[in-house]
Structure 1
Amino acid sequence: MRISLFFVCLLSFIYSNAQHLPVSSKNNFRIVFLGNSITYAGYFTAEIETYYRLKYPANKIEFINLGLPSETVSGLSEEGHAQGNFPRPFLFDRFERTINQTRPDLIISCYGMNDGIYLPLDTVRFKRFQAGIQKLQQEADRRSIELVHLTPPIYDPIKGEAYAHVLDVYTKWLLSQRKLNWKVIDIHNPMKQELHTRRNQDPTFIFAQDGIHPDEFGHWIIAKNILIGLGEIAIESSVSFEDFYQTYPNGEKIQLLIRNKQSLLKDAWLCGIGHQRPNMKQGLPLKEAITQTDLMQNQILELVE
């Protein structure tokens, strides 16, 4: 089945200047998520896949989460990171292997949180972040791979206003790159607004105990705004992900299967590709993981039908 109409929905952005990604006519389409520990956690990536499985059950699309904890796009690492056990991994140490082995049609990238290494705004560090993001865009363009940048999630100002400001600046710069026809979806400002609204109602409200890693509700805000950025405006009325998936038969079972499938696959892919981040979960051999997740996918398809 051809899926061009599906990708009108998937790959159309709602920007003020109505930018759009091209429509794909491929029968299979692979999306790879790149990022740090927030991406690796997998809640927002699983919610995005669950949304498309439920809403567009006939269409073939593959989602691979390849977030890597601690990673940066800037190549920076603070002194004494991880109690001095290892420096932060750098995306471009694994990027070429990742692309060659996964062969994505679309990359969704989420960096910035670690790239200022939790220090106040600094011109040199900011330029390193900009250079890393620009290189990522250039590498995707060179390979004719579509790339969507996400602005960084928020750092809770309760934990440090200076670093919260750093991510404000990084976000503003990323959004400004839309003038170059970059595809950029803003998750930072919607999270910031949601935090402000909730904290006005309840001063103890938080997205993240450590100020960095969002809880499941924080991941929902991320997923919701990515989906809106991809043209799925109807999701705006959902107050939670449960509010969305419970309108579908077997929605909760499908969500849990997709979480488990993505979790198994991400560790297998990360181990198979290789990376410089120690103390990661040892994944199954990729072939075995794919066999197991194919069975899960069949279960998902049966539940959707």
Structure 2
Amino acid sequence: MRQIKTQGFIFCLLLLSSILQAQTPLFDASVKRVLFLGNSITYAAGYVQSIEAYHKAHFPQQKIEFINVGLPSETVSGLSEEGHADGRFPRPDLHERLDRVLLQTQPDIVFASYGMNDGIYLPLDSIRFQRFKDGITWLHAQIEARGSKIIHLTPAPYDENKGKKPSYAQVLDRYSEWLMQHKSWEVIDVHFPMKNYQSTQQKSDPNFALAKDGVHPGELGHWIMAQQILSYLGQKNILQFPSVSDALSPIKDPNTFFQLIVKRHNLMKDAWLSSTGHLRPEMKKGLPLMEALTLSLEIDKQIEALLAP
């Protein structure tokens, strides 16, 4: 009987801890706009959408606009390999568009995710490494000069078994370690948690991969990224949830809720990309920003309906 009571007490403590953590806001009350910069992994948006959905579900009274301007193929190093995209276009460079992005979006916080493309899929090289360092340092300074806060993400890991680029996994290990050495910066490590998870899974299933092409994480990989970010932002219990839907406990229909978040997010990310401008061809053209915002308000009504008690 004493054991049962003890177990019940522990369960209550865990439940209370979970509730208290969920009540700890992700962001300060002054934060109104959160911007995500990055390459195709950010444009794919799974981790960004998960963070947005979690925030909306748990803190519906705090109105924050999540803006995604991730651009496929982009680097912060300004490098591009010969014959990129079969020679159709060089990799876009964040230097070309950052001023316009910051001017239009006016973010309070910027999450920056670079590295995957910056070594242009070649072995570790001191010159390429320095270009990455210079680009990240420049980006950090640009954000801070505008009075915004920047939070860096280490790059997702590269899977050489799927991507077939020898030694490139080591490149991203080094890039991640360099970022994490900056103790005065805010840096969230998604690289090594993803890499460790994959290694653990591959012990029982050698074919397991978070990214089928070695580069772009699937749904699970994006959720692991979101978990690390949410945990950093104070949601320590987030690591116990196997999927984003499981983490949306206040919502009666979490799957429908999340799909509405995705629909709105995808509408707005293309609109923001088109509005701020870029040099990458072969991108979907977004709606004019005001038209997209009008449509997003209709989706917001559906989202709010699912939030109602």
Report the TM-score, using the length of structure 2 for normalisation: 0.89
Report the number of matched residues. 286
| RMSD (CA atoms) | 1.6
For 1:239 and 1:6, how far apart are their aligned partners in 2?
16
For 1:290 and 1:79, how far apart are their aligned partners in 2?
39
- 1:167 alignment counterpart: 172
After superposition, what is the alpha-carbon deviation per residue over 1:278-305, rounded to whole angstroms, capped at 9, x for unaligned?
Answer: 0000111111000000111122122112
The 5-angstrom pairing of residues 20-35 of structure 1 reads 24-26=28-30, 29-35=32-38
For 2:134 and 2:216, how far apart are their aligned partners in 1?
25
Q: Indicate yes or no: 2:40 matched with 1:37.
A: yes
| Structure 1: runs of 5+ lacking an equivalent | 12-23
For 1:232 and 1:7, how far apart are their aligned partners in 2?
9
Distance 1:291 1:7, change over 3 A: farther
- 1:74 alignment counterpart: 77
Query: By how many angstroms is 1:246 displaced?
Result: 5.5
Q: Indicate yes or no: 2:96 matched with 1:93.
A: yes
Q: Indicate yes or no: 2:144 matched with 1:141.
A: yes
The 5-angstrom pairing of residues 197-276 of structure 1 reads 197-245=200-248, 248-276=251-279
Which range moves more in the overlay, 226-235 or 242-251?
A: 242-251
Distance 1:247 1:208, change over 3 A: same
After superposition, what is the alpha-carbon deviation per residue over 1:221-265, rounded to whole angstroms, capped at 9, x for unaligned?
Answer: 111111111111111111222322366312111100110111010
After superposition, what is the alpha-carbon deviation per residue over 1:52-89, rounded to whole angstroms, capped at 9, x for unaligned?
Answer: 11111111111011100000000000000001110000
For 2:121 and 2:165, how far apart are their aligned partners in 1?
9
Q: Indicate yes or no: 2:193 matched with 1:177.
A: no
SS of the residue corresponding to residue 33 of structure 1 reads strand
- 1:280 alignment counterpart: 283
For 2:70 and 2:89, how far apart are their aligned partners in 1?
18
Q: Indicate yes or no: 2:14 matched with 1:9.
A: no
| Structure 2: runs of 5+ lacking an equivalent | 1-20
For 1:167 and 1:280, how far apart are their aligned partners in 2?
26
